[in-house]
Structure 1
Amino acid sequence: MSPQAYPVPRDDAPVVVFDFDHTLYDGDSFGHVLGWMLKRNPLRALVALAATPVLGPMVALLPTRRRGITGYVWIGTFGLHGRRSFDALLDLYVATHQDQIRQRLLPIALEVLRGHRASGDRVVIATGAPPELARAILAFVTHQDVPVIGTAVGPRFGAMGARRHCHNEEKVRMLEERGYGEIAVAYSDSSADLPLLHAAHAPVVVNPKAKRVEMFRKVLPAGTPILNWGCKDRAGQAVA
Protein backbone atom coordinates (compact mmCIF):
# COMPACT_ATOMS: atom_id res chain seq x y z
CA MET A 1 0.00 0.00 0.00
CA SER A 2 1.50 3.34 -1.05
CA PRO A 3 1.49 6.32 1.33
CA GLN A 4 -1.16 8.04 -0.81
CA ALA A 5 -3.58 5.17 -0.22
CA TYR A 6 -3.98 5.93 3.48
CA PRO A 7 -6.74 8.30 4.56
CA VAL A 8 -5.68 11.68 5.91
CA PRO A 9 -6.27 11.50 9.68
CA ARG A 10 -8.85 13.84 11.14
CA ASP A 11 -7.66 16.26 13.80
CA ASP A 12 -9.73 14.39 16.37
CA ALA A 13 -8.63 10.91 15.25
CA PRO A 14 -7.12 8.62 17.92
CA VAL A 15 -3.40 9.17 18.49
CA VAL A 16 -1.31 6.00 18.21
CA VAL A 17 2.35 6.12 19.24
CA PHE A 18 4.98 3.56 18.24
CA ASP A 19 8.42 3.32 19.75
CA PHE A 20 10.97 2.37 17.09
CA ASP A 21 13.82 0.22 18.42
CA HIS A 22 12.72 -3.31 19.43
CA THR A 23 9.19 -2.32 18.42
CA LEU A 24 9.23 -1.74 14.67
CA TYR A 25 12.92 -2.53 14.27
CA ASP A 26 14.64 -5.58 15.75
CA GLY A 27 17.51 -4.00 17.66
CA ASP A 28 19.01 -0.64 18.56
CA SER A 29 19.07 1.27 15.28
CA PHE A 30 21.40 4.05 16.35
CA GLY A 31 23.55 1.59 18.28
CA HIS A 32 24.13 -0.20 14.98
CA VAL A 33 25.07 3.10 13.31
CA LEU A 34 27.36 4.03 16.17
CA GLY A 35 29.12 0.67 16.07
CA TRP A 36 29.70 1.17 12.34
CA MET A 37 31.05 4.68 12.93
CA LEU A 38 33.55 3.43 15.48
CA LYS A 39 34.71 0.46 13.39
CA ARG A 40 35.34 2.67 10.35
CA ASN A 41 38.27 4.31 12.14
CA PRO A 42 40.75 2.15 14.10
CA LEU A 43 41.71 5.06 16.35
CA ARG A 44 38.07 5.73 17.30
CA ALA A 45 37.56 2.02 17.96
CA LEU A 46 40.63 1.97 20.20
CA VAL A 47 39.45 5.01 22.17
CA ALA A 48 35.96 3.52 22.55
CA LEU A 49 37.45 0.26 23.79
CA ALA A 50 39.59 2.12 26.32
CA ALA A 51 36.54 4.08 27.53
CA THR A 52 34.26 1.05 27.81
CA PRO A 53 35.11 0.22 31.46
CA VAL A 54 33.59 3.62 32.33
CA LEU A 55 30.95 4.10 29.62
CA GLY A 56 29.72 0.49 29.41
CA PRO A 57 28.30 0.31 32.96
CA MET A 58 26.75 3.75 32.49
CA VAL A 59 24.87 2.58 29.39
CA ALA A 60 23.64 -0.50 31.26
CA LEU A 61 21.89 1.56 33.96
CA LEU A 62 18.83 3.66 33.14
CA PRO A 63 19.76 6.70 35.31
CA THR A 64 23.17 7.07 33.59
CA ARG A 65 22.35 5.62 30.16
CA ARG A 66 22.09 8.99 28.46
CA ARG A 67 25.56 10.05 29.63
CA GLY A 68 27.12 6.75 28.61
CA ILE A 69 25.64 6.86 25.11
CA THR A 70 26.67 10.52 24.78
CA GLY A 71 30.27 9.49 25.50
CA TYR A 72 30.28 6.89 22.73
CA VAL A 73 28.59 9.30 20.30
CA TRP A 74 31.23 11.92 21.04
CA ILE A 75 34.00 9.42 20.27
CA GLY A 76 32.25 8.23 17.10
CA THR A 77 31.55 11.69 15.70
CA PHE A 78 34.54 13.75 16.80
CA GLY A 79 35.56 16.06 13.97
CA LEU A 80 32.16 16.27 12.28
CA HIS A 81 31.24 19.85 11.47
CA GLY A 82 27.52 20.14 12.00
CA ARG A 83 24.22 18.45 11.28
CA ARG A 84 24.73 18.17 7.53
CA SER A 85 27.85 16.06 8.00
CA PHE A 86 26.08 13.92 10.58
CA ASP A 87 22.99 13.41 8.40
CA ALA A 88 25.21 12.54 5.44
CA LEU A 89 26.88 9.87 7.56
CA LEU A 90 23.46 8.44 8.51
CA ASP A 91 22.49 8.37 4.82
CA LEU A 92 25.73 6.56 3.98
CA TYR A 93 25.08 3.94 6.64
CA VAL A 94 21.53 3.31 5.41
CA ALA A 95 22.64 3.15 1.78
CA THR A 96 25.37 0.60 2.54
CA HIS A 97 23.36 -1.61 4.92
CA GLN A 98 20.07 -2.02 3.06
CA ASP A 99 19.85 -5.79 3.33
CA GLN A 100 20.56 -5.83 7.07
CA ILE A 101 18.04 -3.05 7.71
CA ARG A 102 15.29 -4.79 5.73
CA GLN A 103 15.84 -7.99 7.70
CA ARG A 104 15.47 -6.13 10.98
CA LEU A 105 12.15 -4.45 10.18
CA LEU A 106 9.50 -6.57 11.90
CA PRO A 107 6.69 -7.67 9.53
CA ILE A 108 4.07 -8.08 12.28
CA ALA A 109 4.85 -4.63 13.64
CA LEU A 110 4.60 -3.09 10.18
CA GLU A 111 1.24 -4.79 9.64
CA VAL A 112 -0.07 -3.28 12.88
CA LEU A 113 1.27 0.10 11.77
CA ARG A 114 -0.49 -0.25 8.42
CA GLY A 115 -3.73 -1.20 10.16
CA HIS A 116 -3.75 1.94 12.26
CA ARG A 117 -2.98 4.10 9.25
CA ALA A 118 -5.69 2.43 7.18
CA SER A 119 -8.15 3.13 10.02
CA GLY A 120 -7.37 6.83 9.85
CA ASP A 121 -5.57 7.02 13.20
CA ARG A 122 -3.00 9.74 13.87
CA VAL A 123 0.11 7.58 13.90
CA VAL A 124 3.43 8.96 15.17
CA ILE A 125 6.82 7.38 15.84
CA ALA A 126 8.58 8.49 19.04
CA THR A 127 12.15 7.24 19.29
CA GLY A 128 15.37 7.81 21.15
CA ALA A 129 17.20 7.59 17.82
CA PRO A 130 17.74 10.63 15.59
CA PRO A 131 14.51 11.14 13.63
CA GLU A 132 16.41 11.29 10.33
CA LEU A 133 17.58 7.72 10.86
CA ALA A 134 14.10 6.39 11.62
CA ARG A 135 12.66 8.18 8.56
CA ALA A 136 15.36 6.76 6.29
CA ILE A 137 14.68 3.22 7.56
CA LEU A 138 10.91 3.61 7.25
CA ALA A 139 11.41 4.68 3.63
CA PHE A 140 12.23 1.03 2.87
CA VAL A 141 8.61 0.17 3.62
CA THR A 142 6.92 3.34 2.27
CA HIS A 143 6.19 4.77 5.71
CA GLN A 144 8.61 7.68 5.47
CA ASP A 145 5.68 10.11 5.62
CA VAL A 146 4.75 9.04 9.16
CA PRO A 147 5.64 11.83 11.62
CA VAL A 148 8.75 11.00 13.64
CA ILE A 149 9.77 12.61 16.91
CA GLY A 150 13.28 11.73 18.02
CA THR A 151 16.43 12.89 19.73
CA ALA A 152 17.62 16.29 18.54
CA VAL A 153 21.32 16.18 17.68
CA GLY A 154 23.75 19.05 17.15
CA PRO A 155 27.41 20.13 17.45
CA ARG A 156 28.92 19.69 20.90
CA PHE A 157 32.54 20.02 22.02
CA GLY A 158 33.97 19.27 18.60
CA ALA A 159 31.66 16.36 17.88
CA MET A 160 27.91 15.65 17.81
CA GLY A 161 25.70 15.20 20.83
CA ALA A 162 22.10 15.10 21.94
CA ARG A 163 20.58 18.54 22.34
CA ARG A 164 17.33 17.04 23.56
CA HIS A 165 16.98 13.33 24.23
CA CYS A 166 13.60 11.80 23.31
CA HIS A 167 13.59 9.48 26.30
CA ASN A 168 11.48 8.64 29.34
CA GLU A 169 9.30 11.57 30.51
CA GLU A 170 10.90 13.86 27.94
CA LYS A 171 9.40 11.72 25.18
CA VAL A 172 5.90 12.42 26.51
CA ARG A 173 6.64 16.15 26.74
CA MET A 174 7.91 16.22 23.16
CA LEU A 175 4.76 14.45 21.97
CA GLU A 176 2.57 16.95 23.82
CA GLU A 177 4.45 19.87 22.28
CA ARG A 178 3.74 18.47 18.80
CA GLY A 179 0.02 18.18 19.51
CA TYR A 180 -0.12 14.51 20.52
CA GLY A 181 -1.33 15.13 24.06
CA GLU A 182 -4.11 12.56 24.42
CA ILE A 183 -2.72 9.17 23.45
CA ALA A 184 -5.14 6.38 22.60
CA VAL A 185 -2.64 3.54 22.07
CA ALA A 186 1.10 3.28 22.73
CA TYR A 187 3.41 0.44 21.72
CA SER A 188 6.84 0.03 23.31
CA ASP A 189 9.29 -2.59 24.56
CA SER A 190 11.08 -0.45 27.10
CA SER A 191 10.78 0.28 30.80
CA ALA A 192 12.16 3.72 29.89
CA ASP A 193 8.83 4.29 28.11
CA LEU A 194 6.71 3.71 31.22
CA PRO A 195 5.66 7.40 31.21
CA LEU A 196 4.42 6.92 27.63
CA LEU A 197 2.65 3.66 28.43
CA HIS A 198 1.01 5.21 31.52
CA ALA A 199 -0.14 8.17 29.43
CA ALA A 200 -1.90 5.93 26.89
CA HIS A 201 -5.50 4.81 27.31
CA ALA A 202 -4.43 1.42 25.90
CA PRO A 203 -0.77 0.58 26.49
CA VAL A 204 0.72 -2.40 24.66
CA VAL A 205 4.08 -3.89 25.60
CA VAL A 206 5.87 -5.53 22.69
CA ASN A 207 9.14 -7.47 22.61
CA PRO A 208 10.11 -6.80 26.25
CA LYS A 209 13.19 -8.20 27.94
CA ALA A 210 12.20 -11.34 29.84
CA LYS A 211 13.34 -9.89 33.15
CA ARG A 212 11.00 -6.91 32.70
CA VAL A 213 7.77 -8.81 32.07
CA GLU A 214 6.76 -9.16 35.71
CA MET A 215 7.46 -5.48 36.33
CA PHE A 216 5.21 -4.48 33.42
CA ARG A 217 2.43 -6.71 34.80
CA LYS A 218 2.69 -5.00 38.19
CA VAL A 219 2.79 -1.37 37.09
CA LEU A 220 0.47 -1.36 34.05
CA PRO A 221 -3.31 -1.92 34.09
CA ALA A 222 -4.52 -5.49 34.43
CA GLY A 223 -4.90 -7.14 31.06
CA THR A 224 -2.30 -5.00 29.31
CA PRO A 225 -1.12 -7.06 26.31
CA ILE A 226 2.51 -8.20 26.45
CA LEU A 227 3.32 -9.43 22.98
CA ASN A 228 6.21 -10.62 20.87
CA TRP A 229 6.25 -9.31 17.31
CA GLY A 230 9.17 -11.39 16.12
CA CYS A 231 12.19 -10.51 18.27
CA LYS A 232 13.68 -13.94 18.92
CA ASP A 233 15.73 -12.85 21.93
CA ARG A 234 12.81 -11.05 23.60
CA ALA A 235 9.79 -12.18 25.63
CA GLY A 236 6.05 -11.69 25.18
CA GLN A 237 3.19 -13.75 23.78
CA ALA A 238 3.96 -14.76 20.22
CA VAL A 239 1.72 -13.24 17.56
CA ALA A 240 1.07 -15.26 14.41
Structure 2
Amino acid sequence: MSDAYPPPRADARLVVFDFDHTLYDGDSGSHLFAWLIKRNPLRLAAAVLATPLLGPLVAMLPTRRRGISGYVWIATFGLRGARQFNRIIDQYVHRHEADIRSRLLPQALAVFKAHRDAGDRVVVATGAPPELAREILRFVAQHEVPVIGSLVGPRAGAMIATRHCHNEEKMRMLRERGYGDIDISYTDSSADLPLLLAARSPVVVNPKPGKVDFFRRVLPAGTPILNWGCVERGGDKPG
Protein backbone atom coordinates (compact mmCIF):
# COMPACT_ATOMS: atom_id res chain seq x y z
CA MET A 1 0.00 0.00 0.00
CA SER A 2 2.95 2.35 0.52
CA ASP A 3 3.44 2.49 -3.27
CA ALA A 4 0.21 4.51 -3.46
CA TYR A 5 2.07 7.58 -2.21
CA PRO A 6 4.91 9.40 -3.95
CA PRO A 7 8.24 9.53 -2.14
CA PRO A 8 8.80 12.81 -0.29
CA ARG A 9 10.11 15.57 -2.53
CA ALA A 10 13.62 16.95 -2.06
CA ASP A 11 12.05 20.16 -0.76
CA ALA A 12 9.27 18.35 1.12
CA ARG A 13 7.55 20.04 4.02
CA LEU A 14 7.78 18.28 7.39
CA VAL A 15 4.28 17.79 8.79
CA VAL A 16 3.73 16.45 12.32
CA PHE A 17 0.40 15.08 13.52
CA ASP A 18 -0.57 14.33 17.07
CA PHE A 19 -2.72 11.19 17.31
CA ASP A 20 -5.26 11.31 20.15
CA HIS A 21 -8.11 13.79 19.58
CA THR A 22 -6.41 14.68 16.28
CA LEU A 23 -6.57 11.60 14.07
CA TYR A 24 -8.41 9.48 16.66
CA ASP A 25 -11.49 10.55 18.63
CA GLY A 26 -10.39 9.89 22.20
CA ASP A 27 -7.33 8.84 24.16
CA SER A 28 -6.12 5.60 22.58
CA GLY A 29 -3.66 4.75 25.34
CA SER A 30 -6.28 5.18 28.05
CA HIS A 31 -8.63 2.91 26.11
CA LEU A 32 -5.93 0.23 25.88
CA PHE A 33 -4.97 0.38 29.56
CA ALA A 34 -8.60 0.51 30.69
CA TRP A 35 -9.23 -2.71 28.73
CA LEU A 36 -6.21 -4.37 30.34
CA ILE A 37 -7.36 -3.32 33.81
CA LYS A 38 -11.03 -4.21 33.40
CA ARG A 39 -10.41 -7.70 32.07
CA ASN A 40 -8.71 -8.71 35.35
CA PRO A 41 -10.62 -8.29 38.65
CA LEU A 42 -7.44 -7.90 40.71
CA ARG A 43 -6.09 -5.17 38.43
CA LEU A 44 -9.47 -3.44 38.51
CA ALA A 45 -9.53 -3.47 42.31
CA ALA A 46 -5.96 -2.16 42.45
CA ALA A 47 -6.80 0.67 40.04
CA VAL A 48 -9.85 1.70 42.07
CA LEU A 49 -7.83 1.76 45.28
CA ALA A 50 -5.01 3.74 43.65
CA THR A 51 -7.18 6.33 41.92
CA PRO A 52 -7.35 8.79 44.86
CA LEU A 53 -3.56 9.04 44.55
CA LEU A 54 -3.00 8.57 40.80
CA GLY A 55 -5.99 10.57 39.53
CA PRO A 56 -4.77 13.97 40.81
CA LEU A 57 -1.26 13.22 39.51
CA VAL A 58 -2.60 12.60 36.01
CA ALA A 59 -4.64 15.81 36.15
CA MET A 60 -1.60 18.03 36.73
CA LEU A 61 0.94 18.53 33.95
CA PRO A 62 4.11 18.42 36.15
CA THR A 63 3.11 15.06 37.67
CA ARG A 64 1.21 13.52 34.75
CA ARG A 65 3.97 11.09 33.83
CA ARG A 66 4.02 9.64 37.36
CA GLY A 67 0.26 9.18 37.43
CA ILE A 68 0.12 7.57 34.01
CA SER A 69 3.05 5.30 34.89
CA GLY A 70 1.11 4.10 37.95
CA TYR A 71 -1.90 3.07 35.88
CA VAL A 72 0.33 1.50 33.22
CA TRP A 73 2.06 -0.54 35.95
CA ILE A 74 -1.29 -1.81 37.24
CA ALA A 75 -2.54 -2.58 33.73
CA THR A 76 0.58 -4.49 32.68
CA PHE A 77 1.52 -6.33 35.86
CA GLY A 78 2.85 -9.74 34.85
CA LEU A 79 4.13 -8.71 31.42
CA ARG A 80 7.83 -9.38 30.99
CA GLY A 81 8.99 -7.04 28.26
CA ALA A 82 8.23 -4.77 25.32
CA ARG A 83 7.82 -7.65 22.88
CA GLN A 84 5.05 -9.23 24.97
CA PHE A 85 3.48 -5.81 25.53
CA ASN A 86 3.39 -5.15 21.78
CA ARG A 87 1.70 -8.53 21.21
CA ILE A 88 -0.97 -7.53 23.73
CA ILE A 89 -1.44 -4.22 21.88
CA ASP A 90 -1.90 -6.04 18.57
CA GLN A 91 -4.44 -8.36 20.20
CA TYR A 92 -6.35 -5.42 21.67
CA VAL A 93 -6.48 -3.52 18.36
CA HIS A 94 -7.76 -6.46 16.35
CA ARG A 95 -10.34 -7.47 18.96
CA HIS A 96 -11.75 -3.93 18.94
CA GLU A 97 -11.40 -3.18 15.25
CA ALA A 98 -14.96 -1.95 14.70
CA ASP A 99 -14.89 0.49 17.62
CA ILE A 100 -11.40 1.75 16.77
CA ARG A 101 -12.29 2.27 13.11
CA SER A 102 -15.32 4.31 14.17
CA ARG A 103 -13.02 6.59 16.18
CA LEU A 104 -10.71 7.45 13.29
CA LEU A 105 -11.77 10.90 12.13
CA PRO A 106 -12.53 11.07 8.38
CA GLN A 107 -11.71 14.79 8.06
CA ALA A 108 -8.39 14.26 9.80
CA LEU A 109 -7.52 11.27 7.63
CA ALA A 110 -8.36 13.26 4.50
CA VAL A 111 -5.88 15.98 5.51
CA PHE A 112 -3.32 13.32 6.47
CA LYS A 113 -3.69 11.65 3.08
CA ALA A 114 -3.53 14.97 1.22
CA HIS A 115 -0.14 15.72 2.76
CA ARG A 116 1.14 12.31 1.73
CA ASP A 117 -0.28 12.69 -1.78
CA ALA A 118 1.57 16.01 -2.03
CA GLY A 119 4.88 14.32 -1.18
CA ASP A 120 5.25 15.89 2.26
CA ARG A 121 7.22 14.17 5.02
CA VAL A 122 4.53 13.11 7.48
CA VAL A 123 5.27 11.99 11.04
CA VAL A 124 2.98 11.04 13.93
CA ALA A 125 4.10 12.10 17.43
CA THR A 126 1.89 10.76 20.19
CA GLY A 127 1.76 10.22 23.92
CA ALA A 128 0.42 6.72 23.22
CA PRO A 129 2.69 3.69 22.77
CA PRO A 130 3.98 3.82 19.18
CA GLU A 131 2.91 0.24 18.41
CA LEU A 132 -0.67 1.18 19.28
CA ALA A 133 -0.77 4.11 16.85
CA ARG A 134 0.94 2.06 14.13
CA GLU A 135 -1.55 -0.80 14.42
CA ILE A 136 -4.52 1.58 14.35
CA LEU A 137 -3.15 3.39 11.30
CA ARG A 138 -2.78 0.00 9.60
CA PHE A 139 -6.58 -0.08 9.27
CA VAL A 140 -6.39 2.87 6.88
CA ALA A 141 -3.14 1.85 5.13
CA GLN A 142 -1.07 4.53 6.87
CA HIS A 143 1.03 2.21 9.05
CA GLU A 144 4.32 2.90 7.28
CA VAL A 145 4.35 6.54 8.44
CA PRO A 146 7.01 7.12 11.12
CA VAL A 147 5.50 7.10 14.61
CA ILE A 148 7.21 8.55 17.68
CA GLY A 149 5.48 7.68 20.93
CA SER A 150 5.90 7.06 24.62
CA LEU A 151 8.41 4.36 25.51
CA VAL A 152 7.76 1.68 28.10
CA GLY A 153 10.04 -0.74 29.88
CA PRO A 154 9.90 -3.46 32.55
CA ARG A 155 10.04 -2.53 36.21
CA ALA A 156 8.93 -4.34 39.37
CA GLY A 157 7.06 -7.05 37.48
CA ALA A 158 5.18 -4.81 35.05
CA MET A 159 5.71 -2.14 32.40
CA ILE A 160 6.00 1.57 33.05
CA ALA A 161 6.42 4.62 30.86
CA THR A 162 10.17 5.24 30.72
CA ARG A 163 9.87 8.22 28.40
CA HIS A 164 6.61 10.08 27.91
CA CYS A 165 6.26 11.65 24.46
CA HIS A 166 4.56 14.74 25.84
CA ASN A 167 5.07 18.48 26.11
CA GLU A 168 8.76 19.50 25.74
CA GLU A 169 9.81 15.85 25.72
CA LYS A 170 7.85 15.32 22.51
CA MET A 171 9.93 18.00 20.81
CA ARG A 172 13.16 16.47 22.16
CA MET A 173 12.17 13.08 20.79
CA LEU A 174 11.30 14.58 17.40
CA ARG A 175 14.62 16.41 17.19
CA GLU A 176 16.56 13.28 18.12
CA ARG A 177 15.00 11.56 15.11
CA GLY A 178 15.80 14.45 12.78
CA TYR A 179 12.33 16.00 12.78
CA GLY A 180 13.07 19.36 14.37
CA ASP A 181 12.52 21.69 11.41
CA ILE A 182 8.71 21.53 11.33
CA ASP A 183 6.61 23.26 8.69
CA ILE A 184 3.10 22.30 9.86
CA SER A 185 1.88 20.74 13.09
CA TYR A 186 -1.59 19.51 14.00
CA THR A 187 -2.64 18.85 17.60
CA ASP A 188 -5.50 19.36 20.04
CA SER A 189 -3.59 19.78 23.26
CA SER A 190 -2.23 22.72 25.19
CA ALA A 191 0.42 20.29 26.43
CA ASP A 192 1.66 20.29 22.83
CA LEU A 193 2.25 24.04 22.85
CA PRO A 194 6.00 23.46 22.25
CA LEU A 195 5.09 21.52 19.09
CA LEU A 196 2.73 24.25 17.89
CA LEU A 197 5.26 27.01 18.56
CA ALA A 198 8.01 25.06 16.78
CA ALA A 199 6.00 24.87 13.53
CA ARG A 200 5.99 27.58 10.88
CA SER A 201 2.28 26.95 10.43
CA PRO A 202 0.60 25.55 13.54
CA VAL A 203 -2.95 24.21 13.35
CA VAL A 204 -5.08 23.48 16.40
CA VAL A 205 -7.69 20.77 15.92
CA ASN A 206 -10.41 19.57 18.28
CA PRO A 207 -9.30 21.61 21.32
CA LYS A 208 -11.16 21.49 24.60
CA PRO A 209 -13.71 24.35 24.43
CA GLY A 210 -12.13 26.05 27.44
CA LYS A 211 -8.74 26.17 25.72
CA VAL A 212 -9.78 28.00 22.55
CA ASP A 213 -9.14 31.47 23.99
CA PHE A 214 -5.81 30.30 25.37
CA PHE A 215 -4.67 29.20 21.91
CA ARG A 216 -5.81 32.48 20.38
CA ARG A 217 -3.69 34.37 22.93
CA VAL A 218 -0.47 32.38 22.67
CA LEU A 219 -0.35 31.44 18.97
CA PRO A 220 0.19 33.76 15.99
CA ALA A 221 -2.85 35.72 14.81
CA GLY A 222 -4.82 33.78 12.24
CA THR A 223 -3.76 30.34 13.47
CA PRO A 224 -6.53 27.94 12.37
CA ILE A 225 -8.49 26.40 15.24
CA LEU A 226 -10.61 23.68 13.68
CA ASN A 227 -12.99 20.92 14.65
CA TRP A 228 -12.46 17.71 12.71
CA GLY A 229 -15.43 15.84 14.07
CA CYS A 230 -14.93 15.48 17.83
CA VAL A 231 -18.44 16.33 18.99
CA GLU A 232 -17.54 17.43 22.51
CA ARG A 233 -14.54 19.50 21.41
CA GLY A 234 -14.23 23.10 20.22
CA GLY A 235 -12.91 24.69 17.05
CA ASP A 236 -14.39 25.93 13.80
CA LYS A 237 -15.92 23.43 11.41
CA PRO A 238 -14.07 23.51 8.05
CA GLY A 239 -16.09 25.23 5.35
TMscore range, shorter length: over 0.9
Give the letter for the 2:17 counterpart. F
The offset of 1:12, in angstroms, is: 3.5
Name 1:84's counterpart in structure 2: 83
Gaps of 5+ in 1: none
Q: Distance in 2 between matches of 1:236 and 1:161?
A: 34
Written as runs of structure 1 = structure 2, the 5 A alignment for 1:29-178 is: 29-178=28-177
Moved more, 5-14 or 67-76: 5-14
Name 1:4's counterpart in structure 2: 3
Gaps of 5+ in 2: none
Q: Distance in 1 between matches of 2:59 and 2:182?
A: 29
Name 1:183's counterpart in structure 2: 182
Identity of aligned residues (%): 67
Instruction: Report the TM-score when normalising by structure 2.
Output: 0.98
Q: Distance in 1 between matches of 2:100 and 2:205?
A: 19
The offset of 1:158, in angstroms, is: 1.4
Instruction: Report the TM-score when normalising by structure 1.
Output: 0.98
Q: Distance in 2 between matches of 1:192 and 1:133?
A: 20
* Number of residue pairs matched by the alignment: 239
Q: Distance in 2 between matches of 1:54 and 1:177?
A: 33
The offset of 1:30, in angstroms, is: 0.6
| Residue deviations 1:76-121 (CA, integer Å, cap 9, x gap) | 1111111111111101101100000000000000000000000100
The offset of 1:61, in angstroms, is: 1.5
Give the letter for the 2:9 counterpart. R
Q: Distance in 2 between matches of 1:31 and 1:9?
A: 33
Give the letter for the 1:133 counterpart. L
Name 2:229's counterpart in structure 1: 230
Q: Distance in 2 between matches of 1:72 and 1:152?
A: 15
Aligned alpha-carbon RMSD (Å): 0.9
Q: Distance in 1 between matches of 2:11 and 2:89?
A: 35
